[in-house]
Structure 1
Amino acid sequence: MTFKNTNHTYTVLGILLLLMSCKSNQKLEKSEFQQNDDSVNLYAFIGEKIAVKEFDPNENNTEIEIDSITGDTIRKASYVMDYGFKNKYKVVQNVFNDLKTDTIEFMAYDHSGRPRFENYDYVLLYLSLNKEKGYFYHQKYQFDPVLKTKNGTWKGSHGESIEKLFNEKKKGVFTARGLFDK
């Protein structure tokens, strides 16, 4: 097979090569950081806010016990000094461990008022599961605002990668809290 117009052939091949390289770069850019380690009670995910509702964490905080020696009734009350919030978020992307759901409800406590993560439409949130109570709890004060870039990836508000944001928390506060080994 002979081509009479080799310039035309090279032009077509050049365009095809360019299109294929653009497509492969796009795939590389869209790959996102995600890790799994079921031995660690931590779930990190990019979430989209659905609802943040305050509740009274001291409602129904009295336990009644009977003293085994005297038979007297003992009322024990505990007092939580934080504000409580029931939160519902859409799970946009799992980052650490898989929540296996498209929406998640969790509790958050904040000593100074409303949780700051509610000020952002999209955040990298960090939760742990209380297996005894069956609730997810927000890792107090830990979140990172995130934005979706033009090419479809997620970045921190200062351009950090999701991997960098997660690893900074992992090596810092989550190691200090005993979730990861030093």
Structure 2
Amino acid sequence: MKRLILIFIILSIDIYYSQSKIFAFVGKKISIEKVKSENSFYLKYKNVYKVEQVFDHEIKTDTLIFNSYTHMNQIRYSVYDYAMIYLIKNEAGEFVHQRTYYTPIILKKDGQWYGFNGSDKDVDGYEKINNKPLNIRKNLMIGKTVFTDKIKNKWLMNTFYPEKFFKRICKNKVEIKYLKTAEKLFKSN
């Protein structure tokens, strides 16, 4: 009976938040800090991001502070220095990142932000990018805090830098193969 009630609560929350207006922005991570949660079912994180690009006029500040709620480990987008993050507003009118949806943003080229959606099945609509190698050592170290189990670098690299978008060069470096502009990524979500 408890399981049935829990499933009902989760579905209710999911339905409520799936009908909320979504606000998206490309941001640079300043800090992500685990804080005390009001709800024992969720972990709570306080996020501070520098706003680099907005997709809605509701976000009017150059620095955004918002909370994230997850019932998993530390939020995965913390691995990336830049991400497109999707927010909703709570009852108090504050931006909240409830479902931890994000899109990794990897590169700024010619004034445009580029990233990838790891769930895309192929690279149709992506641009071939010829760029110098990316040093991802710091990102892999953060990835080890997201996944507390003893995980190998190769698994982390494949999880956060999938082979269809990146070519592995060595232990801590990848080369970009394909990315999509932030605008196209936003429209496809």
TM-score using structure 2 length: 0.53
Candidates 106, 121, 136, aligned match of 1:147: 106
Percent same amino acid among aligned pairs? 36
* Pair 164,139 (structure 1): closer, same or farther in 2 beyond 3 Å: farther
Candidates 68, 77, 83, aligned match of 1:123: 83
- The answer to whether the Cα contact below 8 Å between 1:42 and 1:96 also exists between their aligned partners in 2 is no
C-alpha displacement at 1:107, in angstroms?
A: 0.7
Segments of 4+ in structure 1 off by > 4 A?
none
Report the counterpart of residue 133 of structure 1 in structure 2.
92
* Pair 149,105 (structure 1): closer, same or farther in 2 beyond 3 Å: closer
C-alpha displacement at 1:152, in angstroms?
A: 2.5
C-alpha displacement at 1:139, in angstroms?
A: 4.0
Report the counterpart of residue 166 of structure 1 in structure 2.
186
Structure 2 residue ranges without an equivalent (≥5): 1-19, 117-164, 166-178
* Pair 119,87 (structure 1): closer, same or farther in 2 beyond 3 Å: same
- Hey, what's the Cα distance between the residues in 2 that align with 1:55 and 1:80? 12
- Structure label with greater radius of gyration: 1
- Hey, what's the Cα distance between the residues in 2 that align with 1:41 and 1:97? 13
TM-score using structure 1 length: 0.55
- Hey, what's the Cα distance between the residues in 1 that align with 2:181 and 2:62? 23
Structure 1 residue ranges without an equivalent (≥5): 1-39, 59-78, 170-182
- The answer to whether the Cα contact below 8 Å between 1:44 and 1:97 also exists between their aligned partners in 2 is no
Q: Name the SS of the counterpart of 1:160 in structure 2.
A: strand
Number of corresponding residues: 109
C-alpha displacement at 1:136, in angstroms?
A: 1.1
Q: 2:66 matched to 1:106?
A: yes
Report the counterpart of residue 45 of structure 1 in structure 2.
25
Candidates 48, 52, 56, aligned match of 1:92: 52
CA RMSD of aligned residues (A): 1.8
- Hey, what's the Cα distance between the residues in 2 that align with 1:150 and 1:162? 11
- The answer to whether the Cα contact below 8 Å between 1:42 and 1:97 also exists between their aligned partners in 2 is no
